[in-house]
Amino acid sequence: MSTVHTKHAHEANGSLAIPGFTPEAVRAKIGFCEQLKGGVIMDVVNAEQARIAEESGAVAVMALERVPADIRRMGGVARACDPRIIEEIQAAVSIPVMAKVRIGHFAEAQILEALEVDAIDESEVLTPADEEFHVWKHDFKSPFVCGCRDLGEALRRIHEGAAMIRTKGEAGTGNVVEAVRHMRAVMGGIRALRGLEQRELEKRAVEYRVPVELVAWVARQQKLPVPNFSAGGIATPADAALMMQLGAETVFVGSGIFKSQDPMRRAKAIVRAATHFRDPKVLAEVSRDLGEAMPGLEVANLPAEERLAQRGW
Amino acid sequence: MPSAAGEPRVGVLALQGDFAEHEAALARFGVATVQVRRPEQMRGLAALVLPGGESTTMLRLLRSEGLWEPVAAWLGSGRPVLATCAGLILLAREVNRPRQESLGVLDVSVDRNGYGRQVASGTFTLRSAALPGPAEGVFIRAPRITRVGPSVEVLAWRESDPVLVREGPVLAACFHPELQPDHPVTALFVELVRARVPASSMSPRNP
């Protein structure tokens, strides 16, 4: 085996140094996120839903007081979940339990870390707490996931310490169009860095408001330095397969499961779709007779102030 | 990845988890791998890797994809197996906290998430005569081995816990060697694969 081959394979392994991350953060925080790949992370609001998610094959659950479709419907300020709900869900399942904090609300994040949630989602689905700063995620031992709409936003969150990235999509709509737009923007942004010279990378880093080392890493490796997941509007097995063929390594399904007619059946189908996302025969089989999906919303008709993806920067 | 002439083909269970990291680690040794998601992909494998991920998810998919029986039958054939973290849980004779069914070919008992939730994850020093020192392991919501059977050889310890074990052709770790390039456990597995494969069972270039 040649030295060149060794170096290349080494870099492909993902254990390469990542600008801003300690080697231990790469192993423990990003390593945790690697274990979720090829899986489905499901929003749940109580222990019973969490058990259904685990029984269906979810790789993790996201504990919430309300799924995004209900947050949208009810309005008001959406905050981190009551610790009692998180503890009940932790007691009910053996898979990882994640929970959401408001953008910039590091005190809510401290509380979730004290509750030993396995990962924290700094989420635009909740009402933002800080209009200037996101949480400085390197300060936490818990891995964070953050939403993005394009490569610049993804890299800003990774610079702050996010150990996995997801598309924002438009949560609570059952409409995948925004998730597709965001994933295409991220993947296209990565491809657009290929072959740039140092001065061009520096210009791009200024535009993205991140260190040039991070941009250079992505230009060289042609992928994000952390796992790249998708969320926001995924409601069917085909939606999951679409996002994974576009580059997502795992999907988050929010309102799509427990707002549908037969949650267990739909959850199992989406889990199988995440494994066989390139196999149309299996996708056809799992898509049959799922009952009604969640009723969708046309994103183009949503007034700007109701678009959750606009939150964060 | 195409297999070089005379090289064994290693299957990597690709239902969910960090199977791509195992493939990258094996590629560094020039070992060809094939992703296994369907029963027919088990044919002609010289060895099998059960990666890290969520064991509950893999268990359900082994059933729904019709892989349980073919994998169980294959495991009885005495060919080399590498199982890490969730993979070790799938192979253990007994799984506790909570109780869970398993393929049962490795005579150990394990507690799932035996070291705690994600906050307890990290890199820990290993004590081992089998691995070149100083060895470390990355433990992520790792299973804890609470009992080893008489035919199980312990190859590495984390404090007083066995964390790398071997029973015949089965090599299993509570930690994730695939997350550390150059980890000696991958080398140990490759040695096992190359030693076990007689010229007659070499796989053709494509299945």
How far is Cα B102 from Cα A223, in angstroms, rounded to an integer? Answer: 36
Instruction: Give the contacts of A175 (CB within 8 A, at least 6 positions apart).
Output: A233, A235, A296, A297, A298, A299
Instruction: Say which of B86, B119, B176 has its CB closest to residue A31.
Output: B176
Judged by a CB distance cut-off of 8 A, whether residue B150 touches chain A is no
Instruction: Say which of B15, B113, B119 has its CB closest to residue A141.
Output: B119
Which chain A residue's Cα is nearest to B87?
A: A35
Q: Give the pair of three-digit tokens for residue A40.
A: 């489905």
Q: What are B193-198's contacts with CB under 8 Å, separation 24+?
A: B193/B8, B193/B10, B193/B31, B193/B46, B193/B47, B193/B80, B194/B8, B196/B46, B196/B47, B196/B79, B196/B80, B196/B169, B197/B8, B197/B46
Neighbouring C-beta atoms of residue A193, cutoff 10 Å: 19
- The pLDDT of residue A13 is 41
Judged by a CB distance cut-off of 8 A, whether residue A191 touches chain B is no
Instruction: Say which of B118, B181, B182 has its CB closest to residue A118.
Output: B118
Residues 65-94 of B with CB under 8 A from A: 65, 85-86
Crossing angle of helices A151-159/A198-208, nearest 10°? 80
pLDDT in tens, chain A (313 residues): 333 333 333 344 445 799 999 999 999 999 999 999 999 999 999 999 999 999 999 999 999 998 888 998 888 899 999 999 999 999 999 999 999 999 999 999 999 999 999 999 999 999 999 999 999 999 999 999 999 999 999 999 999 999 999 999 999 999 999 999 999 999 999 999 999 999 999 999 999 999 999 999 999 999 999 999 999 999 999 999 999 999 999 999 989 999 999 999 999 999 999 999 999 999 999 999 999 888 888 888 898 888 899 898 8
Put simply, the answer to whether A96 touches B118 (Cβ < 8 Å) is: yes
What secondary structure letter does DSSP report for B13? Answer: E
CB contacts of B141 in chain A (<8 Å) are 32, 35, 96, 118
Which residues sit opposite B48 in a β-bridge?
Answer: B11, B81
Q: How far apart are the CA of B107 and the nearest CA of chain A, in angstroms?
A: 23
Is residue A100 annotated as a catalytic residue, yes or no?
Answer: yes
Q: How far is CA B8 from CA A198, B4, B204, in A?
A: 43, 9, 9
Q: What are phi and psi of A102, to 5 degrees?
A: -70, 150
How far is Cα B30 from Cα B159, in angstroms, rounded to an integer? Answer: 34
- The pLDDT of residue B204 is 44
Instruction: Say which of A59, A141, A279 has its CB closest to residue B16.
Output: A59
- The pLDDT of residue B13 is 98
How far is Cα B85 from Cα B66, in angstroms, rounded to an integer? Answer: 22
Q: Give the pair of three-digit tokens for residue A77.
A: 């300020």
Start-end of H helices in A160-262: 177-192, 198-208, 212-221, 237-245, 255-258
Cis peptide before B134, with omega less than 30 degrees from 0? yes
Judged by a CB distance cut-off of 8 A, whether residue A28 touches chain B is yes
- The pLDDT of residue A294 is 86
Put simply, the answer to whether A9 touches B24 (Cβ < 8 Å) is: yes
Question: Which of A43, A96, A107, A36 lies closest to A257 in space, CA to CA?
Answer: A43
Judged by a CB distance cut-off of 8 A, whether residue A9 touches chain B is yes
Handedness of CA B147, B150, B151, B153 (dihedral sign): positive
**What DSSP assignment string belongs to A136-159?**
-GGG-SS-EEEEESSHHHHHHHHH
Put simply, the answer to whether A268 touches B64 (Cβ < 8 Å) is: yes
How far is Cα A179 from Cα B26, in angstroms, rounded to an integer? Answer: 34
Q: What are phi and psi of A198, to 5 degrees?
A: -50, -45
Neighbouring C-beta atoms of residue B24, cutoff 10 Å: 21
- The pLDDT of residue B197 is 61
Q: Are A27 and B21 in contact (CB under 8 A)?
A: no
Q: What are phi and psi of A272, to 5 degrees?
A: -65, -35
- A150 by Cβ neighbours in 10 Å (0-12 / 13-18 / 19+) ranks as middle
- A94 by Cβ neighbours in 10 Å (0-12 / 13-18 / 19+) ranks as middle
CB contacts of B112 in chain A (<8 Å) are 94
Cis peptide before B98, with omega less than 30 degrees from 0? yes
Q: How far apart are the CA of B184 and the nearest CA of chain A, in angstroms?
A: 14
Q: Are B162 and B178 in contact (CB under 8 A)?
A: no
Instruction: Give the contacts of A226 (CB within 8 A, at least 6 positions apart).
Output: A18, A30, A33, A158, A162, A163, A164, A165
- The pLDDT of residue B5 is 53
**What DSSP assignment string belongs to B105-121?**
-EEEEEETTTT-SGGG-
CB contacts of B30 in chain A (<8 Å) are 1
Neighbouring C-beta atoms of residue B197, cutoff 10 Å: 20
How are strands ordered across the β-sheet holding B144-148? B92-96, B106-111, B144-148
Residue with tokens 């274990």: A35
Amino acid identity of residue B65, one-letter, is E
What secondary structure letter does DSSP report for A80? Answer: P
Instruction: Say which of A6, A24, A57 has its CB closest to residue B57.
Output: A57
Judged by a CB distance cut-off of 8 A, whether residue B122 touches chain A is yes
How far is Cα A280 from Cα A168, in angstroms, rounded to an integer? Answer: 26
Q: Give the pair of three-digit tokens for residue A32.
A: 């945790």
Q: How far apart are the CA of B203 and the nearest CA of chain A, in angstroms?
A: 20
Q: Is the pTM here over 0.80, yes or no?
A: yes
Instruction: Say which of A34, A57, A274 has its CB closest to residue B18.
Output: A34
Which chain A residue's Cα is nearest to B176?
A: A31
Q: A161: alpha, beta or left, given left = phi > 0 and alpha = psi -120 to 50? A: left
Which chain A residue's Cα is nearest to B21?
A: A13
Put simply, the answer to whether A9 touches B122 (Cβ < 8 Å) is: no
- The pLDDT of residue A15 is 52
How far is Cα B43 from Cα B31, in angstroms, rounded to an integer? Answer: 17
Residues 269-288 of A with CB under 8 A from B: 271-272, 274-276, 279
What is the distance, to the nearest Å, from the Cα of residue A62 to the centroid of all Cα atoms in its chain?
Answer: 11
Question: Which of B88, B108, B98, B96 lies closest to B171 in space, CA to CA?
Answer: B88
The topology (CATH level 3) of B9-201 is: Rossmann fold (3.40.50)
Can you list the residues of chain B whose pLDDT is less than 70? 1-6, 197-207
Which chain A residue's Cα is nearest to B86?
A: A35
